[in-house]
Amino acid sequence: MPRARDARLEARLSPADFDTISHAAAAQGLSRTAFVVQAAMDAAHKLLRDQQLTTIAVAHGESFMEWLDRPAEVLSNMKPLVDAPVLPHR
């Protein structure tokens, strides 16, 4: 289903930043608007994905799974949290 593109986003920026964006957009053969929207969407998707997922390189997968499977142990550094005052919830 086609999505209407009727929302607007405006920004004020320095002439230097404007020039940098213009050059980068031209280098990619995109209009400034298309470039800015694409860059912002890429950043937004990455940020949202990072909030939902942590990706581990395959090279570390095995050691990570081994660590996960090890028997439970006391985290001595965490003891101050055990001893911290209990905050009531309301």
Partner 1 sequence: MSLYVTRLGGDHDRTRFDCGRPSLDDWFRHQASQADRKQGSARVFVLVDDEIEEGRLPLGYYAVCGHAVLFEELPEDVRKGQPPQHPVAAVLLARLAIDGPLQRDPVRRLGETLLADVVRQVIQANDHVATPLLVVDALDEQAANFYKRYGFVELPQKPLRLVARLKDIRKTFRLD
Q: Does 76 bind partner 1 (CB under 8 A)?
A: yes
Q: Does 14 bind partner 1 (CB under 8 A)?
A: no
Q: Does 75 bind partner 1 (CB under 8 A)?
A: yes
According to CB under 8 A, which one of 4, 11, 52, 66 is a site residue for partner 1?
52
Q: Does 73 bind partner 1 (CB under 8 A)?
A: yes
| CA distances to 28, 32, 33, 45, 46 from 38, in Å | 11, 10, 8, 10, 12
Span interacting with partner 1, options 4-12, 28-36, 39-47, 70-78, rule CB under 8 A: 70-78
Residue type, 6: D
| Sequence-separated (6 or more) residues with CB below 8 Å from residue 31 | 25
